[in-house]
Amino acid sequence: MLEQRIAFFLPNLAGGGAERVALNLLTGMLERDGLLLDLVVAATEGPYLDQVPERVQLVNLGTGRVTKAIPALARYLREFQPLALVSHMNHANIAAILAKELARSKTKLVVVEHDTLSASKSRLRRSKFLPPIMKLLYPRADAIVGVSQGVAEDLDTQLNFSPGTVKTVYNPVVDRELIAKAQALVEHPWFAPDSPPVFLAVGRLSPQKDFANLLAAFALVRQRHAARLLILGEGENRSALEAQIAELGIGADVSLPGFVPNPYAYMSKATTFVLSSRWEGLPTVLIEAMACGCAVVATDCPSGPQEILADGKYGLLVPIADASALADAMLQTLEVPMSKSASIERGRYFSAERAVDEYLALCDYRSTIEV
């Protein structure tokens, strides 16, 4: 069998959803025959660095910024000539397109969009320049992927593409490793027997996740029911959130322990998982929580929660930035427990195996393997 090389390109290994998706895809592809796998990064930094599978070659371009990585990525493409390059996040996707053209490479390029473009409110200066550049360059990729139907349809609309130009491939969320990690012990006093129920949230402490609204909702919950709130993650909003916790007087019942390598163990033991985001692409953490058997509440933000929860069949959907509605839904999960088996079954629909098959098809993996 002739081995083929597939490469992934990321800015770094920060602890975000896109990085988690790439690692899950790489792990799933390791189980397929005839594949050499590379993970190419502009900088070897971030909390997921130690989670790169041993059999995946980590290629550090050493440029730090993605915009400076284009010549180095072009050199990589010329030297290793991978069958396909799968790039994640719009600024990295643009760099990958330019690097492929600079290298005059025949590598098949798949660019993956993780956020809903029309809803994204990045504070980065580059954000306002990205859509016109994406409109110009994305058609030069061999395939454009949106991680949910909402993301794909929104990208078609925002960039004035023909309907169906952007393909939908749901993220590779659930695999055997996730299920095994969910069984791990959690040494946290809030999970002791007969303790109050624990609400859990996981994500970067950023405006997108709107944990400020979650804290306001939790304060309303605490007026009516004993409970606790854990928010796992790190980010630029930490000081503002800590100030809000103090102002609301809920410090004894709220904890922000930072980034946790194994959030699944918490998901399997929490009472309810809460997604409070203002926008998403396909919120991986919501699927992970469901696969771990946790009841879920989510904002009906663009895009993903409505698709994942099948319009509320598998969890409660509430309006964005509505603390009162979010509090009512959180309390409802305490009063009317959700079906754990139904939640698990729905979460496991978003399997790594399904996503790996679809990405390998986009990479033309099957048609190039020789036996």
Which DSSP letter does residue 351 get? B
* Structure token digits, residue 165: 């130009």
When pLDDT is averaged across residues 4-10 and rounded to a whole number, the result is 97
User: Where along the chain do the CATH 3.40.50.2000 domains lie?
Assistant: 4-172+351-368, 176-347
When pLDDT is averaged across residues 349-356 and rounded to a whole number, the result is 93
**Tell me, what's the pLDDT at 337?**
84
Cα torsion angle, 204, 210, 216, 220, sign: negative
pLDDT tens digits, 158-193 = 999 999 999 999 999 898 889 999 999 998 999 999
**Tell me, what's the pLDDT at 17?**
84
Letter string b/e over residues 257-275, b meaning 16 or more CB atoms within 10 A of that residue's CB = eebbeebbbbbbbbbbbbb
Which DSSP letter does residue 205 get? S
pLDDT tens digits, 85-134 = 999 999 999 999 999 999 999 999 999 999 888 877 655 555 678 889 99
> CATH classification of 176-347, choosing from 3.40.640.10, 3.40.50.300, 3.30.365.10, 3.40.50.2000?
3.40.50.2000
Residue partners of 253: CB distance under 8 A and separation at least 6: 196, 218, 222, 227, 228, 229
**Tell me, what's the pLDDT at 122?**
56
Per-residue pLDDT for 367 more than 60? no
Per-residue pLDDT for 261 more than 80? yes
Per-residue pLDDT for 1 more than 60? no
User: Among 265, 261, 259, which residue's Cα sits nearest to residue 188?
Assistant: 265
* Structure token digits, residue 354: 């399904």
CA distance 272 to 89: 30
Per-residue pLDDT for 370 more than 50? no
When pLDDT is averaged across residues 144-155 and rounded to a whole number, the result is 94
pLDDT band at 371 (very low <50, low <70, confident <90, very high): very low
Letter string b/e over residues 315-335, b meaning 16 or more CB atoms within 10 A of that residue's CB = bbbbebebbebbbbbbbebbe
Give the global pTM: 0.80
**Helix/strand/coil percent split, the chain, to 5:** 45, 15, 40
When pLDDT is averaged across residues 282-286 and rounded to a whole number, the result is 92
User: Among 308, 320, 163, which residue's Cα sits nearest to residue 155?
Assistant: 163
**Tell me, what's the pLDDT at 3?**
79
Residue partners of 143: CB distance under 8 A and separation at least 6: 108, 109, 110, 111, 167, 362
Per-residue pLDDT for 368 more than 60? no
CATH fold for the domain made of 4-172+351-368: Rossmann fold (3.40.50)
**Tell me, what's the pLDDT at 128?**
72
Per-residue pLDDT for 341 more than 50? yes
Judge whether 4 and 368 are in contact, CB under 8 Å: yes
**Tell me, what's the pLDDT at 16?**
81
CA distance 261 to 15: 9
| Cα-based distances in Å from 371 to 10, 33, 83, 107 | 32, 11, 17, 21
More confident of the two residues 370 and 26: 26
When pLDDT is averaged across residues 344-365 and rounded to a whole number, the result is 94
Per-residue pLDDT for 302 more than 80? yes
User: Among 28, 27, 30, 21, which residue's Cα sits nearest to residue 113?
Assistant: 21
pLDDT tens digits, 12-34 = 999 788 999 999 999 999 999 88
